[in-house]
Amino acid sequence: MKTALTILLGCFTSLTVLAQQQTIHNIINTVSNIPTGKGLSNADITKGLKEALNVGAQKATDNAAKLDGFYKNPLIKIPFPKEVKQVEKSLRGIGINKPVDDFIRTMNRAAEDASKSALPIFVNAITSLSIQDGLRILQGGDTAATAYLRTQTSGQLGTSFKPIITQATSKAQVTKHWTAVTKQYNKIGIGKKVNPDLNEYITQQALKGLFLLVGQEEIKIRKDPMARINEILKKVFGS
């Protein structure tokens, strides 16, 4: 009787251990087969994310910096400053269209020129991406990598963009007229005060547009298999 009981307890113990081992095995399988980065080391995941950021930043910068990259893209085209939208409306209402069109085109050309300086700044931030950053980005939202780049580069990009934009607007002589008009407008006090620093307005709009493009490229890589142009992207984001 004792022997039978011992055997029975032994069998029960063995089954319990096997069940625990199977449970652990199932957990490991579940964790290692998450939708993105399945079965990869943290180093491989980080490498893949850096590659994704490089691809996205390159494409976004190329699109922003080309002729009409801002001006003919309705998603990022820099408009007449909204604080004085009534000025644009009034001028167009009496047939003064060309100066307004020229003003808007100049702002967008300045943004396009400034965008040419963005890629080295992006690349530097991407190189500095840590494994911890990579894991957070991988399991973040559709534009988590773009948010990382925005945090890491906005200040440096603004510093780089503004002199280029200032040179472009000065050459077109729009800054001088803008400053004079907005200062007078602010003195009248009929509405919300307008920032007379046109170059700062263009700089901020250019950054906003550029990061929108980077975000679009990131979403493509996460969701569209055709956008995963090499093996490491396919491994990290799924085949």
The tens digit of pLDDT for each residue in 73-92 reads: 999 999 988 766 777 777 78
Between the CA atoms of 233, 231, 234 and 69, what dihedral angle is there, to the nearest 10 degrees?
Answer: 50
pLDDT at 17: 37
pLDDT at 93: 83
What is the pLDDT confidence band of residue 139, given thresholds at 50, 70 and 90?
confident
123-129 mean pLDDT: 93
Measured CA to CA, the distance from residue 93 to residue 211 in angstroms comes to 34
Residue 214 φ then ψ, to 5° = -60, -45
pLDDT at 20: 38
pLDDT at 37: 52
192-214 mean pLDDT: 89
pLDDT at 2: 43
Q: Which range (35-39, 118-122, 179-183) has the least confidence? A: 35-39
